Amino acid sequence: MAFSYAPPKQDRREAGQAMGQATYREIKDEVRDKVRGGVWRPGHELPTEHEIAAQYGCARATVNRALRELAEEGLLERKRKSGTRVRASPLRQARFDIPLVRGEIEALGEPYRYRLLERAETQAPGWLCARMGLAAPVQVLHLRCLHHAGDTPYQVEDRWINLVTLPRARDVDFTKLGPNEWLIGAIPFTDVDISFSATAADARLAQELSCAVGDPLFQGERSTWLEAAPVTYVRMVFRRGHRMTTRY
């Protein structure tokens, strides 16, 4: 056999797991190390769950959990009968935390401040209908808000709420509470669509975010539905230089 695992049977309790650490986690870590460290190259075939279980002196279910999770993370590929192998191209996916603006700003150590810039009730414009999959224009509540980190503007929230599915939004005072935070408690959703892109600052954005007209800005857009019924669309434009980051 081309490799050997660490803990031999002796060192563990007879029943239960104990020994201070979760075993599936040990297995996960060791397999991950082998892959990341290049001991097992992409395409390499791992021993079967039975074999690994025997080597660790643990139950197959434990090995199964470790390998299943690693496959879930995109590191391994599993197929019945053919076995488990290291994915040809790892790094399939990245996870980003999408925090509430409030939390994001407070995590920076800055005091969070919020301001409602605009509030209007109108018919949904064409582009919004297209984006939400609306056949006919409906009545919507349009809010424009500014989120500050300390004294500097951090994000402009351009929010559209469908008043047909959520008529009680009409009666909410959004001068204190951001629509984002209200919506979370107000309505559930079943489908979400998020996308990120770059945009140029127009005159209004430039003024609101204290940057120059034409500056490149990072923006996110999110649409949510409740069982095919459009609930809300939001465009979040971040201050100049913002980056969305993840590390692992």
Cβ 78 to DNA, closest distance in Å? Answer: 4
How far is residue 17's CA from residue 58's CA, in Å, rounded to a whole number?
A: 9
Residue 57 touching DNA (CB under 7 A): yes
195 binds, among DNA, a copy of itself, none (CB under 5 to 8 A by kind): a copy of itself
How far is residue 43's CA from residue 49's CA, in Å, rounded to a whole number?
A: 17
Residue 107 touching a copy of itself (CB under 8 A): no
Backbone angles phi, psi at 5, to 5 degrees: -90, 170
Assign 3-class secondary structure to 6-38: CCCHHHCCCCCCCCCCCHHHHHHHHHHHHHHCC
Residue 92 touching DNA (CB under 7 A): no
Contact 175, 168 (CB under 8 A): no
Q: Which stretch binds DNA (CB under 7 A): 81-89, 104-112, 134-142, 220-228?
A: 81-89
Residue 195 touching a copy of itself (CB under 8 A): yes
Q: For residue 65, how many other CB atoms are within 10 A of its CB?
A: 17
Of residues 6, 61, 98, 200, which one binds DNA by CB under 7 A?
Answer: 61
Query: Of 76 and 156, which CB lies nearer to DNA in the complex structure?
Result: 76
Contact 100, 181 (CB under 8 A): yes
Burial class of residue 190, CB neighbours in 10 A (0-12, 13-18, 19+): exposed
Cβ 58 to DNA, closest distance in Å? Answer: 3
Q: Which stretch binds DNA (CB under 7 A): 50-58, 100-108, 132-140, 152-160?
A: 50-58
Q: For residue 118, how many other CB atoms are within 10 A of its CB?
A: 11
State how far Cα 105 lies from the chain centre. 17
Residue 130 touching a copy of itself (CB under 8 A): no
Residue 29 touching a copy of itself (CB under 8 A): no
Contact 154, 164 (CB under 8 A): no
Query: Of 110 and 215, which CB lies nearer to a copy of itself in the complex structure?
Result: 215
State how far Cα 13 lies from the chain centre. 39
Of residues 190, 202, 204, 210, which one binds a copy of itself by CB under 8 A?
Answer: 190
Of residues 2, 173, 197, 228, which one binds a copy of itself by CB under 8 A?
Answer: 197
Counting every residue, how long is the chain? 248
What are the structure tokens assigned to 214, written together? 């034409």
Cβ 180 to a copy of itself, closest distance in Å? Answer: 9
Of residues 44, 172, 189, 229, which one binds a copy of itself by CB under 8 A?
Answer: 189
The site for DNA (CB under 7 A) is made up of: 12-13, 15-18, 20, 22-25, 46, 48-50, 57-62, 64-65, 67-68, 71, 78-84
The site for a copy of itself (CB under 8 A) is made up of: 35-38, 41-42, 88-100, 184-185, 187-200, 214-219, 226-227, 241-248
